[in-house]
Amino acid sequence: MDETPAGPALAALPRDGLERLIAIMAALRQPETGCPWDIEQNFSTIAPFTIEEAYEVADAIQRGDMVDLKDELGDLLLQVVYHARMAEEEGHFTFADVVEAISAKLIRRHPHVFGDREAENPGAVKHLWDAIKQREKAVRAAARQAAGLPDDTPQGLLGGVKTALPAFQRAVKLQQAASTVGFDWNDARLVLDKIEEEAREVREALSAGQKAEIEEEIGDLLFAMANLARHAKVDPEKALVSANAKFQRRFRAIEVALAAQNRTMADATLEEMEALWVAAKSAE
């Protein structure tokens, strides 16, 4: 049964395309006739959904699910439209301004495609990008100064690493930035030594029983693990995603094996579950 609603608000929408999506969001945000939930949202309340949708896009790609990917890309596009609509309501910018800004940036950063510069390999492209981005920062700083806004130039070598990044990703970027001035180990085995040192400190903190100290030491251990992944040229986030999937797969195998015996996890001992875990691991 088709449950698509029909009414004057729907009939007033553009028939298709991006204009239809923008009009839908505007209708949802209308104070008198829109959706109460959508109306009360703001940038801060929507931001977590934006991050979540980006992760769901990545998940669909990881699984190779093109059906899900189409839906998840739509959800992510909605987030852009949502933020742009709220900005338009406050008089900051419109969705068209967002499109124009990214279009101009892409053209500006690809003079080897749209201009007369040459870049025959990815390394040459990166060199061009770095130079262009530096000029962009200078222009942005001048514009902020002219508008009476505070200077947002990153302070120090690590100041440009965005704080909103996932923790593992930010750890790697901090380490990469520090390595550009030689603040780095030149042998991955030295990082392993550091991991062993941090693990000992975690053990000591656990013995002391101080939660704040335990949290700090575990943080140091995770930071060292990210450093090892970087030296091994492994994406720690991707590695952990794979480990999560492996854990879920093997745990599910335990549940299935117990269900075949008309039992549940609550009926099994830890030793039995461990044996089934080993069996699932061997079967892979």
Residue 253 makes CB contacts below 8 A (sequence gap 6+) with: 276, 277, 279, 280, 283
Q: How many CB atoms lie within 10 A of CB 229?
A: 22
What is the C-alpha separation between 45 and 34, in angstroms, rounded? 18
Q: Give the start-to-end residue ranges of the domains of the chain.
A: 8-146, 168-234, 236-284
pTM (2 decimals)? 0.68
**CA-closest candidate to residue 141, choices 131, 154, 151, 155:** 151
Q: Assess contact for 258 and 265: CB atoms under 8 A.
A: yes
The pLDDT tens digits for 208-236 are: 999 999 999 999 999 999 999 999 999 99
What is the C-alpha separation between 118 and 267, in angstroms, rounded? 68
Reported as a pLDDT band with limits 50, 70 and 90, residue 133 is confident
pLDDT value of residue 2: 54
Residue 191 makes CB contacts below 8 A (sequence gap 6+) with: 185, 224, 227, 228, 231
pLDDT value of residue 15: 75
Q: Do the domains spanning 8-146 and 168-234 agree at the CATH topology level?
A: yes
pLDDT value of residue 4: 62
Classify the C-alpha dihedral 177-180-186-190 as positive or negative: negative
Domain made up of 8-146: CATH architecture: Orthogonal Bundle (1.10)
pLDDT value of residue 190: 93
Which amino acid, residue 17? G
Could you give the percent of the chain with pLDDT greater than 90? 72
Residue with more model confidence, 237 or 93? 93
**CA-closest candidate to residue 223, choices 270, 155, 176, 175:** 175
The mean per-residue pLDDT over the stretch 83-99 comes to: 97
Residue 13 makes CB contacts below 8 A (sequence gap 6+) with: 20, 23, 24, 27
Indicate if the pLDDT at residue 147 is higher than 90: no
The pLDDT tens digits for 42-79 are: 999 999 999 999 989 988 998 899 999 999 999 999 99
Pick the CATH number of 168-234 from 2.60.40.650, 1.10.3720.10, 1.10.287.130, 1.10.287.1080: 1.10.287.1080
pLDDT value of residue 7: 64
Instruction: Pull the structure tokens for residue 113.
Output: 């495609």
266 three-state secondary structure: helix
The mean per-residue pLDDT over the stretch 27-48 comes to: 95
What is the rounded average pLDDT for all residues in the chain?
Answer: 92
pLDDT value of residue 3: 62
Instruction: Pull the structure tokens for residue 3.
Output: 């449950």
